[in-house]
Structure 1
């Protein structure tokens, strides 16, 4: 599998580089800069490209013609209601010149999104996965799902496929580390997609991709450094420092479910996070806490407290938001638990901002985030803002698309 590096932003002109590099290298650098500008700021006129790059008018004219011949750029309109002629032409990226796919892999489902070169969603589809289905059948069905979505989107081929999956991604190989807790088809899907669709496949931890989506599209677009806590059936965290996603030596940065915390009856072990932070804030733990406050029956009616997991936890939190004093007491108790993990991360990393993601974080919204922030302020001298994630349940899928899109744009445009 290929490995992905989250790209940083650049606004540097390369006009000076063109004076020292060989003509072919200078052309490639200038073309790449223009393509990234058209992607980020376009459509643009030749004059606007000249101003943004610092290149001469003849160089821009040659550049635009080269890019039009590649099929990546086309005239998409004119600037100004009264203007006409070459100087008024607006140039833009040809969005359907390349396509990518993002895949969100869960234990009970697979979701796919196909997008064009500008990241616009064209098709989304999903597939439920029963626990007793033969893994080989699940892999084949997932590959067929991606193929069908690409066909519906009109994509002759996919330039890259990004996959978000639970588990550790080996930084050395980019592969999903083997673990008995994950279905075997998780580890087989990436290879099957690569072989079946003849496209490069990029694999990343699901929580890391949710953090990418929140930074690029959601709650922390104004932050270079933050942590995201994934609060759902399972627990995890993603760490972004100075716009760089940190994975750790073994890919385990953010395995906060194993964090020893007060309030549990045992300690976690190398093979189980029972007794760690997971035992306080996982989906099952949230439902148990809600039951103590008399909220589960209100959330589930006659079904009672039998269900667990992220869906059940999301339901009880939504019920708590309108349950008066009982709901307030439950939300405050849950916030105090979540604050233990946030305060521990802050004591080590001092990120300044924590995002509550996953189904629980999304359901709790600003109300839960504000309570957590208040509790963290009492536990830590380090000022930390706590925000609710806003990308929603599709955050992993959005992050997977962004990962595939970055790789495709870097391949076609050159690294920014």
Structure 2
């Protein structure tokens, strides 16, 4: 049965809006080419979406021939405001943006270990409110949060995890209470980093890959056939608990000491660097990342080379386990340590895999590093807001 005229218009509008979401501003001619719709149909939908306040003229395209330049149409950026948070054990980083992801304000706040739960939550919420005001956002439509720990797939809530501050879990509820009109969602930090690397970073040409997060903690995010896989309990990628050789003892249900985390977490890497007499690169961020960056900057130094070789041995143990189970074809080394190690560390890990696994895999360094979590939170907040406002089915 043929669609009614109103249904056909809605389908065409959604198609055009989705293209503008992914491609950015387009001319009416480009919309015609990409949608396959007729020129009059495209003209009608452009007029209809403009009148509805969903799109606007965003500039002009360079003309390929004589005559007036074609108008570029884009999504109305100011229709809604978004916030993205990267919640770490030591503090919070924040970005406030418009509907197309243009950054309007940024802020960060350290939160000391001895800060009580209530004060920590209040400081973080106040930071969001203050930064939104500075950005000119009277109301936040969507707030995306990236945090360490497990996300319950049934409720979308951050589960209670041993070793993580209690204020992490309280923060989500507090933001929802103080921002009742906003849609607040939380996602595991490594998953968000993978989504960012897939969209804008090292895995932009891959539908299947694994991001191995190497930072304060260790984790992995799995993207298969373009889809993020979370697992039955939301625990896919908890590689810090993976039992591995080279550690003392085994991890437990409440403590990843003895697992892969004990080999490749920031504290373990900092100790390894100290054993090799490597001082962190001043001003290069956290101690472990600074040490890795210092070693990479002078690989000809025998002590630096030995440190990088040992670190690559450790990382390769985790990567080989992932490759044996998933055969992803590509592993991105993310987080502060993955970015600091760059191509030097990635190449060393890949060399080791050629003798450890029969499966081909390309090891790449992150191009977004520690900023990938905040970028992923902003991208998902933008997608959720646009889909809701424009009635576009979820990706």
Distance 1:20 1:365, change over 3 A: same
Distance 1:294 1:73, change over 3 A: same
The answer as to 2:280 corresponding to 1:299 is yes
Distance 1:195 1:21, change over 3 A: farther
Per mean C-alpha deviation after superposition, the further-off stretch among 259-268 and 343-352 is 259-268
Distance 1:77 1:368, change over 3 A: closer
What does residue range 184-223 of structure 1 map to in structure 2 within 5 Å? 184-197=166-179, 198-223=181-206
What does residue range 148-187 of structure 1 map to in structure 2 within 5 Å? 148-187=130-169
The answer as to 2:53 corresponding to 1:71 is yes
Cross-structure match for 1:390: 367
The answer as to 2:286 corresponding to 1:330 is no
Q: 1:227 aligns with which of 207, 210, 213?
A: 210
Per mean C-alpha deviation after superposition, the further-off stretch among 362-371 and 262-271 is 262-271
The answer as to 2:227 corresponding to 1:244 is yes
Higher RCO (C-alpha 8 Å, min separation 6): 1
Preserved CA contact (<8 Å) 1:78 1:84: no
* Superimposed CA distance per residue, residues 344-371 of structure 1 (whole angstroms, 9 cap, x where no aligned partner): 1100000011111111111111100100
Cross-structure match for 1:284: 267
The answer as to 2:381 corresponding to 1:404 is yes
Preserved CA contact (<8 Å) 2:218 2:240: yes
**RMSD of aligned residue pairs (Cα, Å):** 1.9
Stretches of structure 2 that go unaligned for 5 or more consecutive residues are none
What does residue range 128-167 of structure 1 map to in structure 2 within 5 Å? 128-167=110-149
Q: Secondary structure at the match of 1:394?
A: helix
Preserved CA contact (<8 Å) 2:92 2:110: yes
Cα distance, 1:374 vs structure 2: 0.4
Cα distance, 1:26 vs structure 2: 1.9
Cross-structure match for 2:39: 57
Preserved CA contact (<8 Å) 2:280 2:288: no
How far apart are the structure 2 equivalents of 1:43 and 1:282? 42
What does residue range 77-116 of structure 1 map to in structure 2 within 5 Å? 77-80=59-62, 82-84=66-68, 88-116=70-98
How far apart are the structure 2 equivalents of 1:300 and 1:360? 13
* Superimposed CA distance per residue, residues 72-95 of structure 1 (whole angstroms, 9 cap, x where no aligned partner): 21123444555349xx43322222
The answer as to 2:325 corresponding to 1:348 is yes
How far apart are the structure 1 equivalents of 2:62 and 2:314? 57
How far apart are the structure 2 equivalents of 1:191 and 1:230? 27
Q: Secondary structure at the match of 1:154?
A: coil
Cα distance, 1:45 vs structure 2: 2.8
Stretches of structure 1 that go unaligned for 5 or more consecutive residues are 1-18, 302-309
Distance 1:195 1:83, change over 3 A: farther
* Superimposed CA distance per residue, residues 243-267 of structure 1 (whole angstroms, 9 cap, x where no aligned partner): 1111111111011111111112211
Q: Secondary structure at the match of 1:211?
A: helix
Q: TM-score, normalised by structure 2?
A: 0.93
Preserved CA contact (<8 Å) 1:159 1:199: yes
Distance 1:77 1:291, change over 3 A: closer
The answer as to 2:241 corresponding to 1:258 is yes
Per mean C-alpha deviation after superposition, the further-off stretch among 395-404 and 94-103 is 94-103
Q: Secondary structure at the match of 2:280?
A: helix
Per mean C-alpha deviation after superposition, the further-off stretch among 126-135 and 368-377 is 126-135
Cross-structure match for 1:377: 354
Cross-structure match for 1:47: 29
Q: TM-score, normalised by structure 1?
A: 0.88
Distance 1:174 1:266, change over 3 A: same
* Superimposed CA distance per residue, residues 87-130 of structure 1 (whole angstroms, 9 cap, x where no aligned partner): x4332222222221110001111111112222122211011101
Distance 1:300 1:353, change over 3 A: closer
Preserved CA contact (<8 Å) 2:281 2:294: no
How far apart are the structure 2 equivalents of 1:280 and 1:400? 28
Q: Secondary structure at the match of 2:108?
A: strand
Q: 2:295 aligns with which of 290, 305, 320?
A: 320
How far apart are the structure 1 equivalents of 2:73 and 2:280? 54
Q: Secondary structure at the match of 1:190?
A: helix
